[in-house]
């Protein structure tokens, strides 16, 4: 009986603590074109590209690659971070942009470098999504 009471007390404490915890505010939306960490997982490109970053509502993307990121953000908002379809659509969008031969808005972070970094990130996201969707058997 004492064990059951102790377990119930712990459950109630955890539930109460999580109910009182507030969700941290999202990072501010971006209104300017950025280029940071172009060759790492912490990449920021344009207004919409980069983990945890997004452009403000109604903002135009900085270039075609940034538009791919905006569309990916929208897809993930609707279908969730584990949506492999969203990640594949993003990779296809990058391929289409690359085929145009256009240059991006930034000389510091050219398309070739930014796309290679983002492709690696999407490949990792796809792998993690696949792992997360498999049922573990013990």
Please name each of the domains of the chain with its CATH number: 29-133 (1.20.90.10)
The mean pLDDT of 6-28, rounded to a whole number, is 46
Nearest CA to 121 out of 42, 9, 13, 19 is that of: 42
How far is the C-alpha of 101 from the C-alpha of 67, rounded, in Å?
A: 16
**What pLDDT, in 10s, does the model give residues 61-111?**
999 999 999 999 999 999 998 999 999 999 999 999 999 999 999 999 999
CB within 8 A of 135, min separation 6: which ones?
none
The answer to whether residue 72 is catalytic is: yes
pLDDT at 78: 96
The mean pLDDT of 16-33, rounded to a whole number, is 65
Which of the residues 72, 104, 122, 125 is marked catalytic?
72
pTM, entire model: 0.77
Name the pLDDT band for 59 (thresholds 50, 70, 90).
Answer: very high
């Amino acid at each position: 009986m004492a064990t059951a009471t102790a377990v119930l007390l712990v459950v109630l404490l955890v539930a109460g603590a999580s109910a009182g915890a507030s969700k941290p505010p999202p990072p501010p939306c971006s209104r300017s074109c950025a280029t940071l960490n172009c060759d790492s997982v912490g990449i920021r490109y344009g207004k919409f590209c980069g983990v945890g970053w997004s452009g403000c509502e109604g903002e135009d993307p900085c270039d075609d690659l940034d538009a791919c990121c905006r569309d990916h953000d929208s897809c993930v908002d609707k279908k969730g971070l584990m949506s492999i379809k969203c990640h594949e659509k993003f990779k296809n969008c990058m391929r289409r942009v690359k085929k145009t031969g256009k240059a991006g808005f930034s000389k510091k972070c050219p398309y070739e470098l930014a796309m290679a970094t983002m492709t690696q990130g999407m490949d990792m996201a796809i792998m993690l999504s696949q792992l997360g969707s498999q049922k573990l058997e013990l």
